[in-house]
Structure 1
Amino acid sequence: MTLGPGATDDPAAAGDPWLAQAQILVVDDEPGMRNFLLRTLAPRCARVEAVGDTAAAGALLETSRFDLIILDNILGGRTGLSWLADLRRDGLFTDVILITAFADLETAIEALRAGAADFVLKPFRTKQILNAVVRCLDRAALRRENFVLRRQFGTVARTQAVDRIVGTSPQMVRTRDLVARAAATRSTVLITGESGTAKEITARALHEQSPFADRPFVPVNCGAIAADIIESELFGHVKGAFTSAASSREGLFFYAQGGTLFLDEIAELPLPMQAKLLRVIEDRKVRPVGSDREIPIDVRLVAATNADLAARVAAGQFRADLYYRLDVVRIPLPPLRERVEDIEPLARMFMEQLSVQLGLPPLPIASSVLQRFEAYPWPGNARELRNRIERALILGTFGEPGSGAPAEQRTDDLAEVEKRHILRVLSASDGNRAEAARRLGVSRKTLDRKCAEWNAEPPADL
């Protein structure tokens, strides 16, 4: 039995985006309870399925993704708890609310041990079950968001990525158009370009402009994960799947459900893993390591590489069938040397961003500096330009013109670089050492000690 979304004036459901987008499976052998839950949830959710036994529920889980399962504990032939234990053993991590008319402390403890997210006693009112559903959906969303934030630490800042595709050159105008067109679809996208051409920013812009922008964006550097654990990282694993698997764990595909999984440096993926990824793309299912169950996924894949994948295919280093599966929509990113007119807006954007991050006043970018920038080939592309701006901010100067490359004053004396940076931050803070220490991310005591070593002026905030 299936019902779809409809209108509702219930304030309990209003304003919760996860409830409105939720796909929920109800498993209960009582027709009256199934009908009650359908009437309660269907007007408020994207999709609700209701079945009377675990066999029918299992068949649905083989083909569809659900955000939440509402499971009766007393079912014909077996308990809901025993079926839940089987699901967890097979690597299905969907949250489950257990409902039962016969509850005691032992049952509640067993439910938690089996992996239930919540426990509701029959008979219950509409508000009770809605509150339990909203709690579970919100907790799951928070868990995914926290996981993604931890993985994003040290990568691209969480600003509007589309605003960081900077430039007026014909190449960048075309890039923005391609991003906007591809964002409206669920098609797989392959982003190509040299190192430092903003491939991750482009992937984030794709996600931000898509209809599922409120879902997770999960970045994965395929070259940074050891070959022997990458399958577990992507697909998850069940307890006991290998020696160190003391508990089951979700994979990155699970955390990206409904959103975007960004596979950077896809050319570095080991050949055995390429075959498994191909099957995932074809079947839209993943199999956790050690599990016999395949779990449906709803994930948009975006891959990126600075390698020539066609040449890798010809050399037998990359699967041709995977290459063609990934290369549905291609977004090629031009190197900076081929779009000289974009150097100035990029440099000014980096100056504005970095001066805020470093707590330093921005440096003026003179026309002579821009001329040197435009004459330089930038082998590291926009990333190298950003590093040059950061170095100039720390040193307080772009330096004198050199033979071609932008010439900052350089020194191998790290202590001198540190001194210049700290004194510039102190000056930008009007001599207030407490504020300077906050901007630098060090203790006031450390800053006082450094200033004493350099015979700096006494603190202005005493």
Structure 2
Amino acid sequence: MLHMLSSILQRLHYETTCAANGLEGVNALKGQSFDFILCDIRMPKMDGMQFLRQARQFNTEATVIMMSAYGTTDTALAAMRAGAYDYISKPFKTDEIELTLRKAEEREALRRDNRKLRHRLASLEENHTFGRMIARSASMLEVFDLSVKVAPHPTTVLITGESGTGKELIARGIHQMSSRSAGEFVAINCGGIPASLIESELFGYTKGSFTGADSHHQGLFATAHGGTILLDEIGELPVPSQVKLLRVLQEGEIQPIGATHPRKIDVRVLAATSRNLEERIDSGRFRQDLYYRLNVVHIHLPPLRERTEDIPLLSDLFIKRYATRGDSEVSRIAPATMALLLNHSWPGNVRELENVIERAVILADNDDILLPSHLPDSLRCRVDTAPSIAPDGSLSIKNAQKSMESSLIKRALQITEGNKTKAAELLEISYPSLLSKIKEYRLTKK
């Protein structure tokens, strides 16, 4: 039988290795890998079922085809359960062997394609990050893409967005992806330093230049030499300091307080603000020429309420972070809890979401799931002030209910990127029920 099979397979252009029994087959697996294994059920020393169980201990990905002249349905099913791909009854014809192997090859091709697809999806997931930030919304992926493009260039960048959207994280990511990543990244909040001290902090001073200047101080621009400086809340910078900053951007030099000569400086400047600088220009609180120097590339971070599809992703990230840090059992979020998170307006944006998740993980104690009771009252007790009415303006409860269901399903499909199983979990309805409602309301993912 071994000689016959080996001859048949070699004529079909397969390379073969023969083993007289199950024990020899196991030893063969220790030294090399195989694409396919044809194995008899009845063999001396170790039968086919024992071989199949031991072969799986080697984590072999070979496709196993069992053979026997004593074939029964029960034997075939037992072999399948143990990991065999197919079962052939003896005696068999050459065509039957070839057909079975060709089917197995098609299966292997599908498995390879599936692995490639998983790798591609994993790669896409990795590309949905920038620095320490993660997102899946189209608006944030555009932000990541623009940040990646601008990172290698020395140009100034103006980063805008509400408080808590991650402006400093974007700046740090730009620095890390630039040729200056080995240099210092210095961040300063222009609104957190008194106006009388801001220039000395930024540009430094010489010993004796003013009362209390007992030693030389190089300033943050000098500290960031060869690296990057982030001027956070640039809109709060006093107008006199804006004049000096403009000179730094134009001439590439600083002049410490009390110094008689300017000093050349090599620093990339990034600026961030939650203010509307154009309004501050109109009111005379920000120089227009400085605005144009800073706004070479403008990156705007959308608020969290405009990218709710990122909330589940960010929530999972924060759960892992704080569960690990606090040795907590929490690993998931109840659908009702996620619904509350998605319904919140998040005035504090990602920073607020992170704080809410950290608090919830602490309150969850030994639970493995975050429940609505673990959230702050402001999220659990929020009620829409506007009454829900039917699209035709009537007060029909039946029509309003249909309108509400349709709206919620649309939002769930958008958040889950069309994944109906996850959408059903989010909506807390069965999968068949969701399919029925999608058909009833003629909904598609948009």
Q: TM-score range by the shorter chain?
A: 0.5 to 0.7
Structure 2 gaps of 5+ residues are 1-128, 365-369, 382-446
Aligned-residue offset at 1:323: 0.6
Structure 1 residue 400 and structure 2 residue 368: aligned? no
Which residue of structure 2 aligns with residue 100 of structure 1? none
Residue 224 of structure 1: SS of its match in structure 2? Answer: coil
Structure 1 residue 203 and structure 2 residue 171: aligned? yes
Q: For residues 208 and 297 of structure 1, what CA distance do their matches in structure 2 show?
A: 20
Structure 1 residue 162 and structure 2 residue 130: aligned? yes
Select 2:326's aligned residue among 354, 358, 378.
358
Aligned-residue offset at 1:213: 0.9
Distance 1:341 1:239, change over 3 A: same
Q: For residues 212 and 406 of structure 1, what CA distance do their matches in structure 2 show?
A: 42
Q: Deviations over 1:167-214 (max 9, x none)?
A: 111101101111001101000000000011000000000001111111
Distance 1:403 1:385, change over 3 A: closer
Aligned-residue offset at 1:401: 9.3
Does the 8 A contact of 1:188 with 1:302 survive in 2? Answer: yes
Distance 1:279 1:356, change over 3 A: same
Q: Deviations over 1:406-447 (max 9, x none)?
A: 339xxxxxxxxxxxxxxxxxxxxxxxxxxxxxxxxxxxxxxx
Structure 1 gaps of 5+ residues are 1-160, 409-462
Larger Rg: 2
Q: For residues 264 and 339 of structure 1, what CA distance do their matches in structure 2 show?
A: 23
User: Aligned AA for 1:391?
Assistant: R
1:18-57 aligned at under 5 Å gives the runs: none
Residue 299 of structure 2: SS of its match in structure 1? Answer: strand
Aligned-residue offset at 1:360: 3.0
Aligned-residue offset at 1:375: 1.1
User: Aligned AA for 2:340?
Assistant: R
Residue 261 of structure 2: SS of its match in structure 1? Answer: coil
Structure 1 residue 326 and structure 2 residue 290: aligned? no
Does the 8 A contact of 1:254 with 1:297 survive in 2? Answer: yes
User: Aligned AA for 1:181?
Assistant: K
Structure 1 residue 373 and structure 2 residue 341: aligned? yes
Which residue of structure 2 aligns with residue 414 of structure 1? none
User: Aligned AA for 2:269?
Assistant: L
Q: For residues 319 and 218 of structure 1, what CA distance do their matches in structure 2 show?
A: 23
Q: For residues 257 and 359 of structure 1, what CA distance do their matches in structure 2 show?
A: 41
Q: For residues 137 and 378 of structure 2, what CA distance do their matches in structure 1 show?
A: 22
Does the 8 A contact of 2:199 with 2:241 survive in 1? Answer: yes
Give TM-score scaled by structure 2 length: 0.54
Q: Deviations over 1:86-135 (max 9, x none)?
A: xxxxxxxxxxxxxxxxxxxxxxxxxxxxxxxxxxxxxxxxxxxxxxxxxx
Distance 1:226 1:402, change over 3 A: closer
User: Aligned AA for 2:334?
Assistant: A
Does the 8 A contact of 1:369 with 1:406 survive in 2? Answer: no
Which residue of structure 1 aligns with residue 228 of structure 2? 260
Residue 400 of structure 1: SS of its match in structure 2? Answer: helix
Which residue of structure 1 aligns with residue 201 of structure 2? 233
Does the 8 A contact of 2:360 with 2:375 survive in 1? Answer: no
Aligned-residue offset at 1:162: 2.5
Q: Deviations over 1:328-347 (max 9, x none)?
A: 00000000011111000011
Select 2:356's aligned residue among 382, 388, 392.
388
Does the 8 A contact of 1:401 with 1:407 survive in 2? Answer: no
Which residue of structure 2 aligns with residue 135 of structure 1? none
Q: For residues 163 and 350 of structure 2, what CA distance do their matches in structure 1 show?
A: 9
Q: For residues 143 and 154 of structure 2, what CA distance do their matches in structure 1 show?
A: 18
Aligned-residue offset at 1:405: 5.0
User: Aligned AA for 1:407?
Assistant: R
Distance 1:399 1:281, change over 3 A: same
Q: For residues 342 and 402 of structure 1, what CA distance do their matches in structure 2 show?
A: 19
Structure 1 residue 271 and structure 2 residue 239: aligned? yes
Structure 1 residue 281 and structure 2 residue 249: aligned? yes
Select 2:277's aligned residue among 309, 312, 315.
309
Does the 8 A contact of 2:164 with 2:352 survive in 1? Answer: yes
Aligned-residue offset at 1:404: 9.3
Q: Deviations over 1:213-271 (max 9, x none)?
A: 11110011111111111111111110001111101011101110111000100011011
Structure 1 residue 245 and structure 2 residue 218: aligned? no
Q: For residues 297 and 178 of structure 1, what CA distance do their matches in structure 2 show?
A: 27
Q: For residues 285 and 180 of structure 2, what CA distance do their matches in structure 1 show?
A: 34
Q: For residues 324 and 261 of structure 2, what CA distance do their matches in structure 1 show?
A: 49
Q: Deviations over 1:369-391 (max 9, x none)?
A: 11111111111100000010011
Q: For residues 375 and 193 of structure 2, what CA distance do their matches in structure 1 show?
A: 40
Q: Give the number of the structure with larger relative contact order, counting CA–CA contacts within 8 Å between residues 6 or more apart.
A: 1
1:87-102 aligned at under 5 Å gives the runs: none
Structure 1 residue 186 and structure 2 residue 154: aligned? yes
Aligned-residue offset at 1:350: 1.1
Aligned-residue offset at 1:403: 11
Does the 8 A contact of 1:262 with 1:301 survive in 2? Answer: yes
Which residue of structure 2 aligns with residue 220 of structure 1? 188
Q: For residues 221 and 205 of structure 1, what CA distance do their matches in structure 2 show?
A: 18
What is the Cα-based RMSD across aligned positions, in Å? 2.1
Q: Using the aligned pairs only, state the percent identity.
A: 46
Does the 8 A contact of 2:131 with 2:176 survive in 1? Answer: no
Aligned-residue offset at 1:357: 2.9
Counting matched residue pairs gives: 249
Does the 8 A contact of 1:261 with 1:299 survive in 2? Answer: yes
Distance 1:401 1:280, change over 3 A: closer
Which residue of structure 1 aligns with residue 308 of structure 2? 340
Aligned-residue offset at 1:363: 4.6
Residue 330 of structure 1: SS of its match in structure 2? Answer: strand
User: Aligned AA for 1:216?
Assistant: E
